[in-house]
Amino acid sequence: MQNINIDWFTYTIIFTILYGAINFMYKLAAHYNLSSHKIVKVSAITVAIISLSVVLLTKSPFTNFKMILFFAFINSAFFGLGSIVKIQALKYIPSSFAFPITKLNSVLLIIYAIFLFNDRPTMLQWIGIGISIF
């Protein structure tokens, strides 16, 4: 399979659009009072099938398999729990209130990155962070 070179900004825009679509689907699920547990269960099965297909098609190597499984488990647990809670919250509060609050997770990530990974944002990056928060 041919390697496609996409810069980080393009990846970020694609991710933002896809994540917006996911959040819209969560709002639809909440609007129609669907079971958040069933939505997450079907999503998890779908993600597992698609992810396995991509791994097999791209012939991705499985180096450090135990660490990959550890991160996959933690990611799945947090994503599943977060999705259930988000859908439940959307049943009771408007999107205009819920989604700005959920974006605060980026602030936590920045704090973790600064203290745990010694990241040092430039002044321009701080301005971007400030704009994204407000």
pLDDT in tens, the chain (134 residues): 456 667 888 988 998 999 899 999 999 999 999 999 999 999 999 988 998 898 889 888 878 888 988 998 999 999 999 999 999 999 999 999 998 888 888 888 899 999 999 999 999 989 988 887 77
pLDDT of residue 6: 75
What is the per-residue pLDDT for 7?
85
How far is 38 from 43, CA to CA, in rounded Å?
8
pLDDT at 1: 47
Backbone angles phi, psi at 4, to 5 degrees: -105, 125
Name the pTM for this structure: 0.75
Residue with tokens 């994540």: 19
The pLDDT assigned to 41 comes to 93
